[in-house]
Amino acid sequence: MMSQSGTEIVKPHTEPVVFATMSPLQAAEEDKYSACVHCGMCLESCPTYDELGHEHQSPRGRVHLMKAVAQGKMDISEAYADPIFTCLDCRACETACPSGVQVGTLIEEARGHIRQAIPLTGWKKTVSRTFLRGLFPHPSRLHALGKALKVYQRSGLGKFVRRTGLINIAPPHIREMEAIMPQITEPVLIRYPQGVPAEGEAKMRVALFTGCVMDVMFSDINEATIRVLIRNGYSVELPQEQRCCGALHVHAGDREEGKRLARKNIDAFLASGVDKVIVNAAGCGCALKEYPELLKDDVQYRDKAEVFAEKVEDITKFLHEYGYRKPRGKLDTRVTYHDACHLAHGQGIRQEPRDLLASIPGIQMIPLPDADRCCGSAGIYNLTNPEMAASILDKKMENVPAAAEVISMGNPGCMLQIAMGVAKYGRSQKVVHTVQLLDWSYQKEEQNERTEEVR
Amino acid sequence: MTRADSLIQELIEIVGTRGVLYRKEDLLAYECDAYTIHRGMPRAVVFPATTEEVAGVVKHLHKQRIPFLPRGAGTGLSGGAIPIGGEVIISLVRMKKLLHVDLENRLAIVQPGFVNLKLTHSISDKGYYYAPDPSSQYACTIGGNVAENAGGAHCLKYGVTTNHILGLEVVLPNGEIIELGGVPDMPGYDLIGLLTGSEGTLGIVTKITVRILKNPEDKKTVLAYFDEVEDASYAVSDIIAAGIVPAALEMMDTVAIEGVECGTYPVGHPPGLKALLLIEVDGIAAGIDEQIDEIVAVCRRRNVLEVRVARDEAERGRWWANRKTAFAAMGTISPDYLVQDGVIPRSRLPEVLNEIRQISETSGLRIANVFHAGDGNLHPLILFDARKPGETELAVNVGSAVLRVCADAGGTITGEHGVGIEKKEEMRYVFTGEEIEAQTRVREVFNPDHLLNPDKLFPKPGRCAEMGIIRE
């Protein structure tokens, strides 16, 4: 039936080097891609297709190639690796897909296969080794880096903060918020080994997933998260054995290291016996929720992974669902909200953070066109694919309304990327995490109350 | 340097290094569009950015006698953009600009790669929209819509693509650039009408002037559940007979409902329904409520189980997302599907649906029906598993049998998806050999060398349909 009349193919200028073909075992994911009926509804959602217009750089095209590899019609080669690794893993296509094809999972698995067949060489190997295996999984090394960073920051008079666009020439009320913004402190994992009790009677015990980079670069966000939680009657545990979530490893095709970290985290958090595991980094939250998928072949851990994943919740969804007291401190600022891919597409969390922001007195929300379009950060994508990441960031920045003074979001990777965009375009917006605005409003409320008392 | 190599070099000279794909691995994703049953590898894919580049590429290929075809988003359902003869694909996705909007004269000018829904999104804040709304409008391009004369749910009241095209810029198969129309009702032959729906066999459209409409003052949407397909079918006829022209009148049957409820946009339709209707009326606000009352009354007379009006825009949006993603949602209940596109007189709906059910039972393949009931445009989705030996062929034969039923009922074989490579042989169900030859003579005028999208739209002369028909 298949028409083969058009089989004359142009000889490529350079023959791609073939490294391996797919083993039958690796091809076992058939049902996952057979749900793709090639309709093309995903095309417009894909930032890389939008940029290049190439079918093989679209979700449908990538799935088509995976099918071809699984069916032995195509070899695993650099020509296959390119579209698979050019994917941002932003999951926007999963939102668009009418039949629920899990493109993200398929991409991550394909990357695993590719890395087995074509191990990295050269500088990419060095970068990957240094960051993925040498740094992120080791809290002590990360914390040492954090200290070094802090010294740099002090000596450079907050140059770093300025360079990432966190201060700039801000209007007075923004500077006011800056003033109550806590200084970068040491990682919360070190600071509160015993956890932090709730203010007043504890409604619930939760654990905070601190994240590896989050706790070093953005420990102030972790501090803010803890303050907001305890203020609302949740006691916060900080299981000391927790590790990096492994998302970056899985994205890069290093599934073994990803699984090792997953098992560590499952053990650490289940041992703490908490009701919920709170995450404030969208990428980590998504990865933690997907542990059951990652460990589905691990007889010992797959059930535990299910139990663990059930407990994982993003901070904004948690507060929205389990309740928080509306803050009273007025912030008087215009805020636009950027949907982190791994919140909106990965976890379906869109309205909750917006509701939280809207509940803060004095905040005027300004819609961000294409708010759920990737900013180009995508884990370490901006390091591995700088050109593509930059053009995607350009589009994001074009959409940021001039009237907005603050860009709020729920993922540290996006914060760094968009802060870079703010700096690059000479914009003045402040880049913050949603929970920080909530925290600042609570703090302002307290300040006001103290002032009242003094009077 | 081989001849093939030099062709690539020459194409690169016209559109630049980044404008040509030629490695086998990079071409594989172009072996089919959204019709996946036939496949073929292109010789190369070229990405021109301007009309002049399109003309340059076409001129070159014409000179070299190399066949070629245009491609938009590749969402077509009849294989019009599949290179079955090793053609060079001219992809128009990089020509995706909205060039001009003229609200006073209610028109917009777009490049062919501009996505259908983006036009409405770009003008909706000013109170305007672009009416033709194929279900793939999130992704399909207006250039592709022109090629296929695309329809959509709201074409019942507003007409299909051809009713909304005011002007075209076209690159002819020899590379010559021509302009057609530009203002409504040009004297002389209606060449825009001829080009629209020609499935990329007469020319490559590089600029399109479309009509835009003012948003209706009000619209209301009704959802009606039935436990008999016949009741739903009669309700469709009764609504039209009552003198109402709904903006859309859509129907889904049991299997289709099962699919959409498993998909990404479930509405929560109760299980076990035999049919549902999605009906929308729009226009000036006065009179909308009366029309809705009348529609509800008609449904009640036809034993409706439940009928309700969308509470707000959000609910209306959910109902439409559910309907518009119906085809692909079938991926959740079947690994493959083949969608047919027959058109029948509305009054024959109950008996034709019955015959389709019989074909399904005889063949053993499930058929989901989700379609534009108001204009009798059926979309039977034949569910199959290509991995099972013989099932693809069976599905193709079932599809052909369904089209025979439509043609015999006084209808035709395609409403909006085009003939492509899929329904070439079925053209004989509706045209005699002489009629087909007359049409191919028109093609000769534009495309005398058959280099542009060859072997599409019409069957090869003299060869009779070889497709076996299941129900016989």
pLDDT at position A154? 55
CA gap B379, B383 in Å, rounded: 12
Least confident range from A81-95, A163-177, A299-313: namely A163-177
Q: What is the mean pLDDT of residues B109-113?
A: 98
Contact B24 A7 (CB under 8 A): no
Q: What is the mean pLDDT of residues A157-164?
A: 47
Contact A53 B335 (CB under 8 A): no
Nearest chain A residue to B116 by CA: give it.
A44
Asked whether the predicted pLDDT for residue B352 surpasses 90, the reply is: yes
Nearest chain B residue to A80 by CA: give it.
B25
Enumerate the residues of chain B whose CB falls inside 8 A of the CB of residue A73. 28
- Min Cα separation A392/chain B (Å): 16
B74-101 per-position pLDDT tens digit? 999 999 999 999 999 999 999 999 999 9
Asked whether the predicted pLDDT for residue B149 surpasses 70, the reply is: yes
Interface with chain B: mutation pick from A11, A19, A38, highest number of B CBs within 10 Å: A38
- Range picked from A121-135, A173-187, B197-211 for highest mean pLDDT: B197-211
* Percentage with pLDDT > 70 across chain A: 84
Enumerate the residues of chain A whose CB falls inside 8 A of the CB of residue B30. 55
Contact A40 B74 (CB under 8 A): yes
- Min Cα separation A446/chain B (Å): 39
Contacts of B316 (CB under 8 A, 6+ apart): B219, B221, B310
B356-414 per-position pLDDT tens digit? 999 999 999 999 999 999 999 999 999 999 889 999 999 999 999 999 999 999 999 99
Q: What is the mean pLDDT of chain A?
A: 85
Enumerate the residues of chain A whose CB falls inside 8 A of the CB of residue B7. 10
Interface with chain B: mutation pick from A5, A7, A10, highest number of B CBs within 10 Å: A10
Contact A9 B41 (CB under 8 A): yes
pLDDT at position A176? 52
Q: What is the mean pLDDT of residues A354-361?
A: 97
Bridge partners of B71?
B91
Enumerate the residues of chain B whose CB falls inside 8 A of the CB of residue A18. none
Q: Which CATH class is domain B3-91?
A: alpha beta
pLDDT at position A148? 62
Contacts of B52 (CB under 8 A, 6+ apart): none
Confidence band (pLDDT; 50, 70, 90) for B248?
very high
Pick the CATH number of B334-446 from 3.40.640.10, 3.30.70.2740, 3.10.129.10, 3.30.70.141: 3.30.70.2740
Other CB atoms within a 10 A radius of the CB of residue A330 amount to 15
Asked whether the predicted pLDDT for residue A355 surpasses 80, the reply is: yes
Q: Are B255 and B383 in contact (CB under 8 A)?
A: yes
Q: How far is CA B369 from the centre of its chain?
A: 16
pLDDT at position A271? 96
Nearest chain A residue to B85 by CA: give it.
A6
Convert A15-35 into a string of H (helix), E (strand) and C (coil): CCCEEECCCCCHHHHHHHHHC
Asked whether the predicted pLDDT for residue A86 surpasses 60, the reply is: yes
pLDDT at position A18? 46
How is residue A162 written in tokens? 């300025």
Q: What is the mean pLDDT of residues A37-43?
A: 95
- H/E stretch holding B129 reads strand B128-129
How is residue A41 written in tokens? 């509804």
How is residue B307 written in tokens? 């009928």
* Percentage with pLDDT > 70 across chain B: 97
CA gap B16, B24 in Å, rounded: 19
Enumerate the residues of chain A whose CB falls inside 8 A of the CB of residue B44. 10
Contact B74 A55 (CB under 8 A): yes
Asked whether the predicted pLDDT for residue A258 surpasses 70, the reply is: yes
pLDDT at position B387? 87
Domain B98-214, classified CATH 3.30.465.10, yes or no: yes
pLDDT higher at A417 or A308:
A308
- Min Cα separation A385/chain B (Å): 17
Eight-class DSSP state of B22: -
pLDDT at position A78? 92
Asked whether the predicted pLDDT for residue B142 surpasses 90, the reply is: yes
pLDDT at position A276? 97
What ranges in B207-325 are assigned the alpha helix state H? 229-241, 254-262, 288-301, 313-324
Contact B85 A5 (CB under 8 A): yes
**Option in A10, A61, A96 nearest B4 (CB):** A10
**Option in A34, A79, A100 nearest B26 (CB):** A79
Q: Are A255 and A294 in contact (CB under 8 A)?
A: yes
Residue B182, class by beta-carbon neighbours within 10 Å (0-12 exposed, 13-18 middle, 19+ buried)?
middle
A119-139 per-position pLDDT tens digit? 887 777 777 777 777 777 777
**Option in A6, A54, A98 nearest B264 (CB):** A98
Q: Are B156 and B281 in contact (CB under 8 A)?
A: no
Nearest to B239 by CA among B259, B224, B261: B224
Eight-class DSSP state of A166: S
Roughly what angle, to the nearest 10 degrees, separates helices A315-322 and A434-454? 60
Asked whether the predicted pLDDT for residue A27 surpasses 70, the reply is: no
Contact B37 A1 (CB under 8 A): yes
Q: What is the mean pLDDT of residues B298-316?
A: 96
Asked whether the predicted pLDDT for residue B140 surpasses 90, the reply is: yes
pLDDT at position A195? 94
pLDDT at position B462? 61
**Option in A16, A42, A65 nearest B23 (CB):** A16
Asked whether the predicted pLDDT for residue B211 surpasses 50, the reply is: yes
**Option in A53, A61, A98 nearest B91 (CB):** A53
Domains in chain B: boundaries: 3-91, 98-214, 218-329, 334-446
Confidence band (pLDDT; 50, 70, 90) for A3?
very low
- Min Cα separation A49/chain B (Å): 10
b/e code B232-266 from CB counts within 10 Å (16+ = b): bbbbbbbbbeeebebbbbbbbbbbbbbbbbbbbbe
Contact B26 A56 (CB under 8 A): yes
Asked whether the predicted pLDDT for residue B4 surpasses 70, the reply is: no
**Option in B7, B36, B421 nearest A38 (CB):** B36
**Option in B44, B136, B393 nearest A41 (CB):** B136
pLDDT at position A28? 43
Q: How far is CA A60 from CA B73, B260, B279, B386, in A?
A: 11, 20, 32, 18
Confidence band (pLDDT; 50, 70, 90) for A150?
low
Domains of chain A: 18-119 (1.10.1060.10), 134-321 (1.20.1050), 325-454 (3.40.50)
Asked whether the predicted pLDDT for residue A146 surpasses 70, the reply is: no
Q: What is the mean pLDDT of chain B?
A: 94
Do domains B218-329 and B334-446 share one topology? The answer is yes
Enumerate the residues of chain A whose CB falls inside 8 A of the CB of residue B49. none
pLDDT at position A452? 79
Contact A5 B86 (CB under 8 A): yes
Rg over CA atoms, chain A: 23
CA gap B415, B345 in Å, rounded: 12
Pairing of strands A333-337, A363-365: parallel
Q: What is the mean pLDDT of residues A97-126?
A: 87
pLDDT at position A15? 42
Residue A431, class by beta-carbon neighbours within 10 Å (0-12 exposed, 13-18 middle, 19+ buried)?
buried
Pick the CATH number of B218-329 from 3.30.70.2190, 3.30.470.20, 3.30.1280.10, 3.20.20.150: 3.30.70.2190
Nearest to A174 by CA among A406, A438, A337: A406
- SS3 of A89, please? coil
